[in-house]
Amino acid sequence: MKRIILMVFKNILILPYIWIKLCYYASHVDKYTEEQRYNYLDYIVKHANKGGNVTIAAFGQENIPKKSGFMFYPNHQGLYDVLAILEACPTPFSVVAKKEVENIPLLKQTFKCMQAFMIDRDNPRQGLEVILNVVKEVKKGRNYLIFAEGTRSKEGNKVQDFKGGSFKAATKAKCPIVPIALIDSFKPFDRSTTKPVTVQVHFLEPIPYEEYKDLHTNDIARMVKERIEAVIAEYESR
């Protein structure tokens, strides 16, 4: 909370303009291209990070597929995760987020601008509809992000088990899977401090459909998790 207050205070002069324009974008998504909306979100995030003493260190951006129609699978550390990836990623993407966060200020408008899908984890039928919609969108060339852990970790950089069902969208869309290793993404919002912090976003080598097509979704989940854990382990061993 302290860092959010700092972000607001440091941007107080431009905050009314940013907020009004963000709400307008969120309410009129059809008036703007995905690139225009994404670029504006990137503008907001960069200002917020600068004001809140947050630095984003991006690695492996060359691993982001040049051709759209892929899916990101990062580890999940907190509410800040999407904002960190958004600044680090030059290619527009949308997200599948849990319904519980759809009314949180800023996140609500951000997800609307991204035309995100909100999933109700207590409603299997609605969840299936979301997956099928994501598959259609990815096949059309849009990129999506899913947190396969289902909920954020409360143990720092420790990665929880990835749920196999989260990979059904990728297997049905037959698209590349891009693992993302987040390091220290829990610190900006989940720690009561305003000290400078660096969040690392590692885009790992994409996994083409041909490499995982014969695997069960639980095996895909373990493979992606292990690749992310290897990057985090290397960082923590230094």
Residue 31's CB is within 10 A of a number of other CB atoms, namely 10
pLDDT at 217: 96
Q: Between residues 91 and 120, which one has the greater pLDDT? A: 91
Burial label for 214, CB within 10 Å (0-12, 13-18, 19+), is exposed
pLDDT at 154: 79
% of the chain with per-residue pLDDT over 70: 100
Helix, strand or coil, per DSSP, at residue 237: coil
Mean of the per-residue pLDDT values of the chain: 93
Q: How confident is the model at residue 62 (pLDDT cuts 50, 70, 90)?
A: very high
User: Has residue 1 got a pLDDT over 80?
Assistant: no
User: Has residue 102 got a pLDDT over 80?
Assistant: no
User: Has residue 57 got a pLDDT over 80?
Assistant: yes
CA 146 to mean position of chain CA atoms: 7
User: Has residue 101 got a pLDDT over 80?
Assistant: no
Q: Which range in 111-125, 160-174, 180-194 is most confidently predicted, on average pLDDT?
A: 160-174
pLDDT at 152: 78
User: Has residue 238 got a pLDDT over 80?
Assistant: no
Contact 56, 199 (CB under 8 A): yes
The dihedrals phi and psi of 37, each to the nearest 5 degrees, come to -65, -40
Least confident interval from 101-105, 108-112, 121-125, 200-204 = 101-105
